Homo-oligomer: A and B are copies of this chain.
Amino acid sequence: MNAVIYGTSTDPASLGDPDTVPQVNVVALLGGVGGAKLASGLAQLLPPERLTFVVNTADDFEHLGLHISPDLDTVMYTLAGLVNPETGWGVKDDTWNTLAMLAHYKAPTWFRLGDRDLATHLLRTQWLREGFSLNQVTQRLCSLLGVRQRVLPMSDAPVRTWVLTDEGEMAFQEYFVRRAWQPRVRAIRFEGIEQAQPTSAVMNALADADVILFGPSNPFVSLDPILALPEVRDILSAVRAPRVAISPIVAGQALKGPAAKMMHELNLEVSPVTVAAHYRDVLTGFVLDHRDAAYATTITAQMGICTLVTDIVMHDALARARLAREILQFALQQ
């Protein structure tokens, strides 16, 4: 039953009684900051054992000998209550004195490693070198920070995003951080994706999910790596659970980062329609902002995907919980 549904209210009072939240197993596929906000909204509604977050690792990289997993860290710090609220990533109240000394050594400082943040990279790197898998390391870090939801790297195998730009091909963090996503994108590829498999924890979570969400993350560089894992693609086509994506595009702009700019450079319309079309093979529902309400009928009619039109900008904790609740209710109606 495909339909356009409108969010009833953005009034905080509409959050209602937490007891009425359906107790279902939710798996959300996430990138960085936008995904982490959705995760924290869900964490306000559901007990931790109900929540699994499958996180992009294709923007992981080696820097100064450290294994850095930016998206995993953002999700973990957010759920631990440690995230820098100004940026949405990094650790709150962090300092940059190691970086200052690295500058003294004329070492690269374009990736702004905070002093507190460094502890995570040191421990992850050490444990990986000791032979633990990225999944094992992630579980250990989360456990030590008191994160009780399951935060899962999409794969234990290295997958690395390369961005082909008008200035040549560059590693993702080179494009994203060092060049502040200014070069024009022509194509994107995921090195290692053919050899990579999702972890069994990811596959089990997807198989057991009552609802599968696609976070409001960049489709091309945050969610595509997860979806490019053939086994993930296959199970998403096979499961019966509703699969609902949240648009990272609102009123012609990305909520954060280069998603809109990339769409433009890839000659795609900068609209939620492009996002829905990107995922359409594996989607049953799509959530877009009321400012884009005009696209809802197009998506539902042309793609056979239910739509929810509501306020999708998560300004604060209450807005995150409200949106998470609306999305869950919408998903379970399908």
Q: A interface vs B, CB < 8 Å?
A: 64-66, 91, 94-95, 97-102, 104-107, 114-120, 122-123, 125-126, 129, 141, 144-145
Contact = CB atoms under 8 A, between A and B. Distances in A.
A198 B105 CA distance: 27
A202 B64 CA distance: 29
B64 A104 contact: no
Contacts of A97: 94-95, 97, 114-116
A248 B98 CA distance: 34
B115 A98 contact: yes
Give 3 closest A-B pairs by Cβ, nearest first.
A101-B119, A65-B126, A97-B115
A116 B100 contact: yes
A122 B105 CA distance: 11
Nearest to A115: B97
Nearest to A128: B65
Contacts of A65: 122, 125-126, 129
Nearest to A140: B105
Given A95-B97, A97-B95, A105 B129 contact: no
A125 B64 CA distance: 9
A65 to B, nearest CB: 4
Given A65-B126, A65-B129, A125-B65, A119 B107 contact: yes
B141 A119 contact: no
Contacts of A104: 119, 144-145
Contacts of A116: 97-98, 100-101
A104 B125 CA distance: 17
Contact of A122 (B98, B123, B141): B98
Contacts of A144: 104-106
Contact of A119 (B105, B114, B120): B105
A201 B197 CA distance: 50
A298 B232 CA distance: 82
Contacts of A107: 119, 123
18 contacts: A64-B122, A64-B126, A65-B122, A65-B126, A94-B97, A95-B97, A98-B98, A100-B116, A101-B116, A101-B117, A102-B119, A102-B122, A102-B123, A104-B144, A105-B119, A106-B144, A115-B118, A118-B118
Contacts of A102: 119, 122-123
A129 B107 CA distance: 16
Contacts of A126: 64-65
Contact of A118 (B94, B101, B106, B141): B101
Nearest to A65: B126
A120 B104 CA distance: 10
A145 B105 contact: yes
A32 B65 CA distance: 27
Contacts of A94: 97
A105 B102 CA distance: 24
Given A64-B122, A101-B120, A115-B118, 8 more contacts: A64-B126, A65-B122, A65-B126, A91-B101, A98-B115, A98-B118, A105-B120, A105-B145
